């Protein structure tokens, strides 16, 4: 206790001699406090206002103008995430494999691929939405439908999957590959049964992050998958319009008729996204630990 | 046989790798080919510097200057609010934060990045808009509201990229400054930060891109009136909002004008991205 007091006293003395340092220290600490206060406030506010309004009605199987159920939107979201990942995960992971295993870091093509992927990740979601509307909806004549939404969203999360997979693959120690080659395995075998499994938690963390991004997206989907609050069914279900959860949230809050339901939907949406986000963070942390363990 | 499989696999992953190139080409092709003819018909000057957007009038007017200025003011406001807080928070995370707190703060930043933009927008509508209306006047749907909200939304981008830039500065800069008798704060601000300058600038540029492109949250809090900005507490419409709001019912020339709005937005974004890449390259 006394030692601590002494340390604080010494600090005060130092700051007195050097007021600028104190000002800088206060600025930095205050900024950090603001950032985290804002985060806590937003999450707290949404959950606090939303949770009391969550009712069984909200999870009714069919949407009606009375219950404003989020169930169809929730199921549509799951379908959307699932189908998009089917398209984008193999593409993204294979692209990352190409970049890390099959080409030199300095090669021209790799540079072009990297630049395009960075360009893609900087494009805002509304531009993707516009592109999806022009290409999938209009030119390919798929209409405003689930499949148009799936393809557009897949293009959007592709750079995310590519980047996280590439990082994960690069983190695999060179000795794994050398060991595999040394035992007589070919390149394909090394990649598929040594490198990818070793990088798997990192790849998975990226995939989950992408899922979170898809769940949260709105502007991309408003004119590609549309706003019909029904679960697509039948033979041509891919060509039905399907509203996802965040779009549902947007429609509810912009109509202004369903304030309570909007609060509750906001809380549910936030909860889902945060849960997805934490899962991804947890996995990412685990690989870091795993790698350290190997080095020892 | 084995060689053949290897060859096939190699081709498959090569195709996968080219997907991103193909996507960029398609996006550019479709956005430009649908926007440029409309700009040609309206006239580049009338389109970019026209102050009236009245697609329903006879004759209709398609000037997007109000929206360009709207995007500009909202983005500038977001940078003024978000960038200093973000950069200083990054300094805190990189140089001041004790290890045991950092463990908690890092995931918190990821959470901030993970919140969907419609949730931000909803938060803006139920918390920020009434607050601005009660304390500062106006109806609450304003440039200021959108700027504050966007300022919050760009925080994680600014913080993450800045933290990386600060951490990339060699430790010797800091040690040298300490050895010369400077305090911890002075060493960080006058020896380390100047060295991380271009990385920090890159973080702000990336934040600018995010703010320009943000759509849903801005639509929900900025009022969306397609007129010239006339004050911090007055509503405006951004380029992104213009597309989403009117696309639902637009037809013919009106619709093409919206595509052209998208093209202009896309060009802005490409410029911002290019700037970011250049700055990042300089850091490396």
Higher pLDDT, A63 or A168: A168
Can you point out the beta strands (E) in chain A?
none
Residue A46: per-residue pLDDT: 92
Is residue B60 included in any domain, yes or no?
Answer: no
CATH number of B106's domain: 1.10.3720.10
What are the strands, taking DSSP E only, across chain B? 53-54, 61-62
Structural domain includes residue B181: yes
- Cβ of A14 within 8 Å of Cβ of B108? The answer is no
Q: Does residue B62 sit in helix, strand or coil? A: strand
Please name the residue ranges forming H helices in A146-258.
146-170, 174-182, 187-190, 196-216, 245-255
| pLDDT reported for residue A118 | 87
Same-domain pairing of B107 and B244: yes
Contact flag B96-A119 (C-beta cutoff 8 Å): no
Q: Which residues of chain B make contact with A126, given a CB cutoff of 8 A?
A: 213, 215, 240, 243-244, 262, 265
Cβ separation B5–A46 shorter than 8 A: no
Q: Tell me: the pLDDT tens digits for A4-14?
A: 778 788 777 77
Whole-number pLDDT of residue B81: 94
Asked whether residue B120 falls in the same domain as residue B190, the answer is yes
Residue A215 is predicted with a pLDDT of 92
Last residue of a domain, one of B54, B75, B96: B54
Shared domain check, B237 and B196 = yes
Residue at which a domain ends, from B26, B54, B82:
B54
Does one domain contain both B42 and B87? no
Q: Indicate whether A110 pLDDT > 80.
A: yes
Residue ranges in chain B whose pLDDT is less than 50: none
Residues B183 and B278 in one domain: yes
Q: Compare B167 and A68 and report the one with higher pLDDT.
A: B167
- What are the residue ranges spanned by the domains of chain A? 2-52, 56-295
CATH superfamily, with its number, for domain A56-295? MetI-like (1.10.3720.10)
More reliable by pLDDT, A112 or B231: A112
Mean pLDDT across A93-108 = 88
End-to-end CA distance of chain B: 44
pLDDT band at A293 (very low <50, low <70, confident <90, very high): very low
Identify the band that residue A292 occupies on the pLDDT scale cut at 50, 70 and 90. very low
Does B113 map to a domain? yes
Mutate to test the interface with B, among A16, A35, A164 (most CBs of B within 10 A): A35
- Range A20-28 average pLDDT: 89
Q: What is the chain B residue with the closest CA to A268? A: B119
Give chain B's domain count.
Answer: 2
Separation between Cα atoms, residue A182 and residue A175, nearest integer Å: 10
Does one domain contain both B247 and B270? yes
Question: Tell me: the pLDDT tens digits for A126-185?
Answer: 999 999 999 999 899 898 899 999 999 999 999 999 999 999 999 899 999 999 999 988
Which pLDDT tens digit goes with each residue over B243-276?
Answer: 998 888 888 889 999 999 999 999 999 999 899 9
Instruction: State how far residue A236 is from chain B, nearest Cα, in angstroms.
Output: 24
Mutation for B interface: A41, A97, A118, A219, most B CBs within 10 A = A219
For residues B242 and B136, membership in a common domain is answered with yes
Specify whether B125 is located in the same domain as B47.
Answer: no
Residue B189 has what pLDDT?
A: 92
Residues B118 and B41 in one domain: no
The CA-based angle B138-B140-B142, given to 5 degrees, is 90
Of A22, A31, A269, which has the smallest distance from its Cβ to B88's Cβ?
A31
Distance from CA of A61 to the nearest CA of B (A): 24
Residues B122 and B179 in one domain: yes
Q: What is the pTM of this model?
A: 0.90
Show which of residues 38-77 on chain B sit within 8 Å of chain A, judged by CB atoms: none
Q: Are residues B105 and B224 in the same domain?
A: yes
> Could you write out the DSSP letters of every residue in B71-130?
HHHHHHHHHHHHHHHHHHHHHIIIII--HHHHHHHHHHHHHHHHS-HHHHHHHIIIIIHH
B203 lies in some domain: yes
Residue B180 touches partner A, C-beta closer than 8 Å: no
Average pLDDT, chain A: 86
> Do B71 and B122 fall into the same domain?
yes
Tell me the residue range of the domain where B40 lies.
2-54
């Amino acid at each position: 206790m006394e030692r601590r007091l002494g340390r604080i006293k010494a600090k005060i003395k130092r700051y007195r001699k050097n007021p600028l340092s104190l000002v800088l220290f206060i600025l930095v600490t205050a900024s950090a406090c603001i950032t985290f206060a804002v985060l806590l406030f937003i999450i707290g506010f949404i959950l606090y206002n939303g949770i009391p309004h969550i009712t069984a009605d909200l999870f009714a199987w069919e949407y009606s103008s009375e219950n404003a159920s989020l169930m169809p939107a929730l199921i549509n979201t799951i379908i959307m995430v699932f189908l998009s990942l089917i398209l984008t995960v193999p593409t993204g992971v294979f692209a990352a494999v190409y970049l890390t295993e099959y080409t030199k870091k300095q090669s021209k093509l790799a540079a072009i691929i990297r630049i395009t992927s960075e360009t893609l990740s900087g494009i805002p979601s509304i531009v993707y939405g516009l592109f999806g509307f022009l290409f999938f909806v209009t030119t390919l004549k798929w209409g405003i439908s689930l499949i148009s939404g799936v393809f557009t969203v897949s293009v959007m999360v592709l750079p995310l999957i590519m980047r996280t997979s590439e990082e994960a693959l690069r983190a695999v120690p060179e000795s794994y590959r050398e060991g595999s080659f040394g035992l007589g395995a070919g390149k394909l075998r090394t990649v598929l049964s040594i490198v990818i499994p070793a990088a798997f938690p990192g790849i998975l963390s990226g995939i989950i992050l992408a899922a979170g991004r898809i769940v949260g997206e709105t502007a991309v989907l408003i004119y590609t998958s549309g706003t019909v609050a029904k679960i697509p069914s039948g033979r041509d279900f891919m060509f039905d319009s399907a509203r996802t959860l965040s779009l549902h949230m947007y429609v509810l809050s912009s109509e202004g008729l369903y304030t309570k339901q909007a609060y509750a939907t906001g809380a549910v949406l936030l909860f889902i996204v945060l849960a997805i986000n934490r899962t991804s963070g947890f996995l990412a942390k685990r690989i870091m630990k795993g790698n350290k363990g190997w080095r020892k | 046989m084995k060689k053949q499989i290897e060859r096939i696999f190699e081709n498959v992953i090569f195709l996968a790798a080219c997907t991103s190139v193909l996507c960029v080409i398609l996006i550019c092709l479709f956005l430009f080919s649908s926007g440029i003819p409309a700009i040609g018909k309206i006239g580049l000057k009338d389109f970019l510097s026209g102050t009236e957007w009245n697609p329903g009038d006879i004759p209709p007017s398609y000037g997007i200057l109000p929206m360009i200025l709207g995007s500009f003011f909202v983005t500038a406001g977001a940078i003024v609010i978000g960038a200093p807080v973000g950069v200083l928070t990054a300094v805190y995370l990189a140089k001041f934060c004790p290890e045991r707190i950092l463990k908690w703060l890092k995931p918190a930043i990821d959470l901030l990045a993970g919140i969907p933009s419609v949730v931000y927008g909803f938060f803006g509508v139920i918390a920020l808009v009434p607050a601005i209306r009660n304390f500062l006047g106006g109806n609450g749907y304003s440039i200021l509201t959108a700027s504050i909200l966007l300022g919050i939304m760009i925080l994680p981008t600014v913080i993450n990229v800045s933290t990386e830039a600060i951490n990339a500065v060699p430790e010797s800069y800091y040690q040298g400054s300490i050895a010369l008798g400077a305090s911890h704060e002075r060493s960080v601000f006058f020896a380390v930060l100047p060295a991380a300058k271009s990385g920090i600038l890159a973080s702000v540029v990336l934040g600018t891109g995010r703010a320009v492109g943000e759509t849903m949250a801005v639509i929900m809090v900025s009022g969306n009136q397609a007129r010239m900005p006339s004050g911090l507490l007055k509503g405006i419409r951004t380029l992104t909002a213009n597309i989403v709001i009117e696309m639902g019912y637009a037809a013919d020339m009106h619709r093409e004008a919206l595509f052209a709005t998208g093209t202009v937005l896309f060009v802005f974004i490409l410029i911002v991205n290019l700037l970011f890449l250049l700055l990042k390259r300089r850091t490396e």
